[in-house]
Structure 1
Amino acid sequence: MLSYLFVVIILGGLIAVHELGHLLVAKLCRIPIAEFSIGFGPKLIGRRWGETTYRISAVPLGGYVLPALDEQGFRERPATRRILFALGGPFANVVAAFAGLLALGVVEFGLSAVNAAVFATTQLWTSLQQLAFALSTLFVDPSQISGIVGIVAIGGAQFGSTAAGLLSFSVLINLNLAVLNLLPLPPLDGGRILFCLLEKVYRPLARMQTPVTLLGWAFVLALMVYATIQDVGRIATGMFA
């Protein structure tokens, strides 16, 4: 059971890394942030520094960065800054994945710093290619989709028994968070970037962002329910063992 707890902690931490990436880029781009939360739901602890309230919430597997602007005010920010803000989270996950691969190279394989950097770069590129191919197959066979339940089950069973395994798991999850969030589907980061580009082509298209985002949320929630049902079925039949 301890291995599953480690997996949950790592998963929550990597989501926090993603949100922290958004926060840091927002600060650099001078986008005011009202609230930064690790987790969702009721506040456990929180403190305000400057214009931003930092909080830890009750549900650990999630988080958000809330700009101190309404939708119209946010859209009035330069498109370049909004795109950078959206890229901040995926970029943070890629950097964290690279750091994890560096650590694996040095600690697990005894590589020098230079060789570890080469190893990390090569593995990062190979893993991104494999992940892109795996994503393309999901459209053909959606039964392979897994949600949070499946990720924890797989992580605990296959990666959670050793430090090297947990490090490999963190690399895999970081890359998944980066790539999945860059899909051009609102409300994901890739969807926000898509609308920033579309409004450059034809500005009235920006008005469609809110209704399309609501539809996107409905699709994502339905997909999460479907994935959870799939995961529970796999656990019941011992497929994750």
Structure 2
Amino acid sequence: MGISIASVIVLLGVLIFVHEFGHFLVAKLMGVGVLKFSLGFGPRLIGRRVGETEYLLSAVPLGGYVKLLGESESDHVAPEDDKRSFSSQSVWKRIAIVISGPAFNFLFAILVFAIIYMVGVPTVTSDVGGVQPGSPAHAAGLREGDRIIAISGKAVSRWGDLAEIITQSGGQELVITLARDQEQFEVRLKPELATGKNIFGEDVEAYRIGVSSSTNTFIERQNPFAALWSGNLQTWNITELTLLSLVKMVDGVVSPKNLGGPILIAQMAGVQAKKGIMNFVFFMGLLSINLGVLNLFPIPVLDGGHLFFYLIEAVTGREVNIKWRERAQQVGFAILIMLIIFVFYNDILRLFGE
């Protein structure tokens, strides 16, 4: 329990700071006054004013906020400060400030994954762990313990690369180069379509040769440039998978019961922390992406809701009517509260289920 509490405090603290720092930094760069920078909501625990900005640690650690000069219609702004008011900025500057929070979450994930790739990632080798009877691999003579070192002239050392080449083969004949008992030789085979389950439990057809991976791994380390590129790809793939999961949830393929809230996050943070620092850091990157995606939803009160109104303004050349924005924010707040209640309900059901 102690590890879970400590790890979730670190996890949420870092992610909230990254998100709010994105808003803070871009607002400063745009010349907009920043009145408050708070980690957490609610009553102030500790704080300090530096210049015009009050830096706060607040009681409820489930979010944070940056209070900008002239952010609200009701804010009083002195005439001499009008140029530094958020509402006086061009729509494109306001868009940049709003989108910077989620953008920093994605950039942070890229950096986290890049560090992991530089430190080293356990990677499954291209060793054959099993051969399915009657499969193309079995007919070609592949055996457990064989190491596949190339496919149609393309060198492979990772199981993921091997699987990708086979899946994308289109059923064309492949030349498999094997290493067995310190000897190398080639076999030819044609992948065949087989039905299996994807990560959502749906039946899908894919080309396979009938081999499974072994448990052998090696530590793969990358140079900083390669690691940054891999971190970028990893962030893109996880973002795509997150959005696809939401689509599958709407379609009824994935149950909404899979959604989790702070309790599940605390449990998972504790589990990953016990597994090691790299597991915990990876989980932090994963959650940072989820936070970025969530905040871009076009729900008023979230960054995505503000972004939606500013994009309408950019296209039409007119601000959205204040009454419409206020009503939309009320609806958005209600949606957000219902979502929070739902994920807490799921978390409690999991606790009782355990």
**TM above 0.5:** yes
- Could you tell me how far apart the structure 2 residues matched to 1:49 and 1:225 are? 37
Deviations along 1:202-233, one digit per CA (max 9) or x if unpaired, are 63633211221121011101110111011110
2:275 to 158, 161, 165: 161
Residue 97, structure 1, aligned to residue 213, structure 2: no
Structure 1 residue 33 displacement after superposition: 1.6
For residues 77-116 of structure 1, the aligned pairs below 5 Å read 77-109=89-121, 110-116=221-227
User: Contact 2:70 / 2:87 at 8 angstroms: preserved in 1?
Assistant: no
Partner residue, 2:132: none
User: Contact 2:272 / 2:280 at 8 angstroms: preserved in 1?
Assistant: no
User: Contact 1:198 / 1:206 at 8 angstroms: preserved in 2?
Assistant: no
Aligned AA (1:227): V
More helix by share: 1
- Could you tell me how far apart the structure 2 residues matched to 1:3 and 1:122 are? 31
Q: What is the DSSP-based 3-state SS (H/G/I as helix, E as strand, rest coil) of the residue aligned with 2:40?
A: strand
User: Contact 2:47 / 2:54 at 8 angstroms: preserved in 1?
Assistant: yes
User: Contact 1:199 / 1:205 at 8 angstroms: preserved in 2?
Assistant: yes
Partner residue, 1:203: 318
Partner residue, 1:150: 264
Structure 1 residue 175 displacement after superposition: 0.3
Deviations along 1:29-86, one digit per CA (max 9) or x if unpaired, are 1221211111112212211122211111122231110112152364442111111111
Partner residue, 2:329: 213
Structure 1 residue 12 displacement after superposition: 2.2
1:128 to 209, 222, 239: 239
Distance 1:61 1:108, change over 3 A: farther
1:191 to 295, 302, 305: 305
Q: What is the DSSP-based 3-state SS (H/G/I as helix, E as strand, rest coil) of the residue aligned with 1:155?
A: helix
Structure 1 residue 108 displacement after superposition: 2.9
Segments of 5+ residues of structure 1 without an aligned counterpart are none
Aligned AA (1:87): I
- Could you tell me how far apart the structure 2 residues matched to 1:221 and 1:227 are? 10
Structure 1 residue 199 displacement after superposition: 2.5
- Could you tell me how far apart the structure 2 residues matched to 1:143 and 1:221 are? 17
Q: What is the CA RMSD across the aligned residues, in angstroms?
A: 1.8
- Relative contact order (alpha carbons < 8 A, sep ≥ 6): 1 or 2 greater? 1
Q: What is the DSSP-based 3-state SS (H/G/I as helix, E as strand, rest coil) of the residue aligned with 1:36?
A: strand
- Could you tell me how far apart the structure 2 residues matched to 1:215 and 1:120 are? 37
Partner residue, 2:206: none
Partner residue, 2:3: 3
Aligned AA (2:29): L
Aligned AA (1:19): E
More strand by share: 2
For residues 34-53 of structure 1, the aligned pairs below 5 Å read 34-53=35-54
Partner residue, 1:61: 62
Sequence identity percentage: 34
User: Contact 1:138 / 1:144 at 8 angstroms: preserved in 2?
Assistant: no
User: Contact 1:6 / 1:160 at 8 angstroms: preserved in 2?
Assistant: no
Structure 1 residue 142 displacement after superposition: 2.6
Partner residue, 2:192: none
Structure 1 residue 182 displacement after superposition: 0.7
Aligned AA (1:40): F
- Could you tell me how far apart the structure 2 residues matched to 1:103 and 1:211 are? 44
- Could you tell me how far apart the structure 2 residues matched to 1:103 and 1:203 are? 44
User: Contact 2:11 / 2:269 at 8 angstroms: preserved in 1?
Assistant: no
Q: What is the DSSP-based 3-state SS (H/G/I as helix, E as strand, rest coil) of the residue aligned with 1:106?
A: helix
- Could you tell me how far apart the structure 1 residues matched to 2:342 and 2:21 are? 29
Structure 1 residue 160 displacement after superposition: 4.3
Q: What is the DSSP-based 3-state SS (H/G/I as helix, E as strand, rest coil) of the residue aligned with 2:337?
A: helix
Between structure 1 and structure 2, the one with the greater Rg is 2
Structure 1 residue 103 displacement after superposition: 1.0
